[in-house]
Structure 1
Amino acid sequence: MPLLFKKDCHNGGIVAVWQITEPVEELLEELALRDCELSRVSSFKLDKRKAEFLATRCLIKEVLGITPEIDYQDSGKPVLQNADYNLSISHTKGYAAIVLSKGQYAGIDIEYPSDRVQRVYERFVSLDEQQFIPEGQRVEYYTLIWCLKEAMFKMFDEQSIIFNEHLVCRPFKFDEEGELKALYRKEKEVELSYRFSTVNGFYLVYHC
């Protein structure tokens, strides 16, 4: 299971991506899971979902040197119990991604660019945001904005967030990597910076 991407953030956080190549049984052998986690693995019907669950924990073990103990809030947000980090998790088609943050917020999302975003972009892209998107790069911009807003949704953990209203992406220039600035504006206003990278054909957005 190769570690494809790892970066240390300026505040002591870590972001990492792992390609999932092992079968479920091999991933299980790498971990000392609690009974509650083993039960959760057994509850998943698909091996793909089991592998994502286990690979995330193997990735945390790789970067921290411990088998993580992860519990979940009612909203589904993961909480790392045995290390002093805020945690965010994402998966896509054979990859697992994590961000571990020493700050107040942790958010990450990983996606492959796809034409399907053009069919649903109005659900998450505002009219103002559409103004800075070049005509010939709509898939790239829509996918990156989707990643950004998914990462923000995980960070603020508010189920009633409206993506094209409460989450605002500032104008940016698409590249292989760079910075995104965004505003959360629901009940309070918080403006934060995010990093993005394109790795192995997928897009990664994170804050740590």
Structure 2
Amino acid sequence: MPLFKTIEANSQTTVKIWKIEESHDELMQPLTLKPNSMERVLGMKSQLHQRGFLSVRHLLRAFGYTDFDLFYDEHGKPHLKDGKHISITHSFNFSAVIVSDVEVGVDIEKHRDKIQIIAHKFIDYEFDYLQKEDLDYIRKLTAIWCVKESLYKLFCVPGLSFKNCFLVIPFNITDEETVAWIDYKDKKYRYTIHFLEFEGFTCAYAIA
């Protein structure tokens, strides 16, 4: 069982990260899935996506839940039947789940050079302090994306613009946290976001 890391963020909140090393069959074997979950898995053309989906169910088990405890609302946001808050992410060979008594969001992304190509779509203010010649440039872009994505999942207002509604203040990779703001309907919401790096990936998690 490659449970890669467990983070006790606070007394109400836990993050668990899974490193996906098993085959599809190994992941599937101990699981019991709802009919619609099984349909989703069988409908996925990519085995990478199938394994990501199944690894999330293993993380649920690590929290003491099953696939039957998880459901999604009309916006695609996951919920747990016991009322706890949950957020889910997977990227390539890592997945993560965060469970809390309060609203939360989590995101994992792989460090890839091509993030530079789409940076203008999710960054505005942050360009003021980012330097392309910085050795940490790709890592910082990835961290900013993860921070904004985790906040998007927490805030859960469909269509909110990463570029125009989310602002991440200057940070260093070694800080492993930063402050971010959401500007929505003439109100500003402040959050402290934590992030960590491992094996060429960044994971960020937001807690209300």
Q: Which runs of 5+ in 2 are unaligned?
A: none
Q: Kindly provide the CA deviation profile for residues 37-84 of structure 1, in whole angstroms up to 9, marking residues without a partner as x.
A: 22222222222222111110101211x223242211222111122x44
Is 2:125 the partner of 1:147?
no
Cα distance in 2 for partners of 1:4, 1:26 equals 17
**CA-CA distance at 1:107 after TM superposition:** 0.6
AA at the equivalent of 2:108? I
Greater Cα offset, 179-188 or 68-77 = 68-77
1:133 aligns with 2:130: yes
Matched, 1:17 2:17: yes
Number of the residue aligned with 1:170: 169
Q: In structure 2, what is the Cα distance between the partners aligned to 1:11 and 1:111?
A: 26
Q: Which of 35-44 and 147-156 deviates more?
A: 35-44
CA distance in 1, matches of 2:87, 2:65: 17
1:108 to 83, 106, 110: 106
Aligned length: 203
Indicate conservation of the 8 Å contact 1:70/1:80, yes or no: yes
TM-score after normalising by structure 1: 0.90
Matching residue of 1:124:
122
Cα deviation digits, residues 98-127 of structure 1 (max 9, x gap): 111211x2111111111111112111111x
Q: What letter matches 1:31 in structure 2?
A: L
Task: For 1:169 and 1:30, locate their aligned partners in 2 and report how far apart those are by CA, in whole Å.
Answer: 41
Asked whether the equivalents of residues 11 and 102 of structure 1 are also in contact (C-alpha less than 8 Å), the reply is no
Of 28-37 and 143-152, more deviation after overlay is shown by 28-37
Partners of 1:133 and 1:95 in 2: CA distance: 27
Partner residue, 1:193: 192
Counterpart residue type for residue 157 of structure 1 = C
Structure 1: distance between partners of 2:137 and 2:129: 10
The aligned counterpart of 1:29 is 29
- Percent identity over the alignment? 28
Aligned CA RMSD, in angstroms, stands at: 1.6
Q: Which one-letter code corresponds to 1:99 in the other structure?
A: I
Query: Which residue in the other structure is 2:50 paired with?
Result: 50
Q: Which runs of 4+ in 1 moved over 4 A?
A: none
Residue type at the aligned position of 1:10: N
Matched, 1:207 2:203: no
8 Å CA contact 1:99–1:207 kept in 2: the answer is: no
Q: Could you tell me which runs of 5 or more consecutive residues in structure 1 were left unpaired when the two chains were aligned.
A: none
Partners of 2:28 and 2:54 within 8 A in 1: yes
